[in-house]
Amino acid sequence: MKMKIYENAAAAKDILARGGFEDEKIAAGVKEIVAAVRDGGDRALFAYSEKFDGSVLDADTVAVSEEEIEAAYAALDPALLASMKKAAENVLSYHSRSPLKEDIRTENGRTTGYTVRPVERAGIYVPGGTAPLFSSVLMGVLPAKAAGVPHIYVATPAKAGKIAPAIIAAAHLCGAEKIFKTGGAQAIAAFAYGTESIPKVDVIAGPGNIYVTLAKKEVYGKVGIDMLAGPSEILIIADKEQNPVHVAADVLSQAEHDRRARALLLTDDREFAEKVQAETERQLALLPRAEIASFAVENAGGIILVKDMKEACALANEIAPEHLELAVKDPEALLPEIRNAGAVFMGGFTPEPVGDYFAGPDHTLPTGGTARFFEVLNQDIFLRKMSVIRYTEKAVREDAEDIVRLAEAEGLFAHANAVRLRAKGE
């Protein structure tokens, strides 16, 4: 299987076309699950956990026990645990930077500003899928911790009642209060509405499959959410100075995630494109997840030739990718041209997995073109600005005429009266 080379963006229109998050059949099923858990609580939650994951749960076993946490730590390679701790330190340190601060100011008897408060409870979803994504635990729990959320819970699918030890250890290490053995749309519904065993939260964050994404969409408004995230994707802008071995490896780093993953390369050099094409084919044959990566590259991947780097940046902004690698000699020169991306990786020695695991910035990113309006998961998702206003008697009298005029112009005479009475001293 060769990664196809397209002469231009027009020739690649089929792979650039994006499907949304809607799927009528799946959406109908998700609505049914959400409503069942909302109305039936634990009974419905446990029934779906058994149906979809083969986990027979009850109120005593739905949360990971202390004994299971101890067993998870014991099962981990000490070197892996040490690396996990280093990564956690980097992620927490990064998310603790430049926190939102209270800003309240008083001028001429008028106090205005805002306070900043974390939400009370956060629910972090961690995918089960085909790989134990313990890194998603770090990237979900630690921004909430940096925000000061007092109660942080993790939900993740348990296969036949078991969760990967690395996920349990990561959640405990990061400070999750409880880890729940449930996934899918039913877990999202449980966080949104609460059940007898799972608390209702204020914000749900974390990636998942289309069932999880549609469930988050369904419950949004009842709770806050971080974003609507779909399959993983990478877009690489590369010049001919790059090592094709490295660029091919980066293409496959996302293609192995999911059969629906997207992996694209933009370059202005055909010879370089052909080298990456050949190298991708060679490396693909060596991957344990070759079947998944091959399907993704063939069905949602490709190399698109562009006239120059300016065109590459313009196309990247249209695509608004989850991960954008600027694998060019001078990435700083291109960065000002980039408006829409979840995360930007600068230079030939900053492959996407650096951000996935260790650098500090979050890897829970907007996909499917939603980087045009969603942002990377960060501590702000778990914080709320709360307005503060205080007027003195003198100040309300000075501003009364304007306020009354504005209120009455909208036909809201009771609004106007609330100010007028104070201005008159009544």
CA distance 102 to 117: 9
For residues 332 and 419, state if they share a domain: no
Q: Identify the pLDDT of residue 141.
A: 98
What CATH number has the domain bearing residue 80? 3.40.50.1980
For residues 296 and 320, state if they share a domain: yes
Enter the tokens of residue 197.
């065993």
Enter the tokens of residue 61.
């076993």
Q: Identify the pLDDT of residue 425.
A: 84
Q: Are 233 and 257 in contact (CB under 8 A)?
A: no
Catalytically annotated residue among 233, 279, 322, 325: 322
Q: Identify the pLDDT of residue 277.
A: 96
Catalytically annotated residue among 172, 246, 257, 323: 323
Q: Is 322 a catalytic residue?
A: yes
Structure confidence at residue 349 as a pLDDT band (50, 70, 90): very high
Q: Identify the pLDDT of residue 274.
A: 97
DSSP state of 220: B
Q: Identify the pLDDT of residue 20.
A: 56
Q: Identify the pLDDT of residue 183.
A: 96
Domain boundary among 195, 225, 255: 225
Q: Identify the pLDDT of residue 128.
A: 85
HEC string of 175-193?
Answer: CCCEEECCCHHHHHHHHHH
Domain boundary among 225, 251, 266: 225
CA distance 144 to 224: 13
pLDDT tens readout for residues 239-268: 999 999 999 999 999 899 888 889 999 999
Which residue's entry shows tokens 């996909």? 367
Q: Identify the pLDDT of residue 259.
A: 84
How many Cβ atoms are within 10 Å of 48's Cβ, its own excluded? 22
For residues 90 and 138, state if they share a domain: yes
**How much is the mean pLDDT over the chain?**
95
For residues 47 and 61, state if they share a domain: yes
CA distance 317 to 372: 8
Encode burial over 256-271: b for 16+ CB neighbours within 10 A, e otherwise: bbbbbbbbbbbbbbee
For residues 70 and 200, state if they share a domain: yes
Q: What is the mean pLDDT of residues 69-95?
A: 97
For residues 111 and 186, state if they share a domain: yes
**Cα end-to-end span (Å), the chain:** 83
Residue 366 resides in a domain: no
Q: Is 323 a catalytic residue?
A: yes
Give the chain's domain count: 3
Q: Identify the pLDDT of residue 18.
A: 63
Q: Identify the pLDDT of residue 373.
A: 93
Q: Identify the pLDDT of residue 258.
A: 83
pLDDT tens readout for residues 145-174: 999 999 999 999 999 899 999 999 999 999
Q: What is the mean pLDDT of residues 310-328?
A: 97
By residue range, what is the domain housing residue 408?
Answer: 392-423
For residues 73 and 15, state if they share a domain: no
19: pLDDT strictly greater than 60: no
Q: Identify the pLDDT of residue 102.
A: 95
**What one-letter code names the amino acid at 241?**
E
282: pLDDT strictly greater than 60: yes
Residue 367 resides in a domain: no
126: pLDDT strictly greater than 90: yes
CA distance 397 to 420: 8
pLDDT tens readout for residues 25-49: 899 999 999 999 999 999 999 999 9
CA distance 21 to 229: 9
CA distance 48 to 62: 13
Residue 98 resides in a domain: yes
426: pLDDT strictly greater than 80: no
182: pLDDT strictly greater than 80: yes
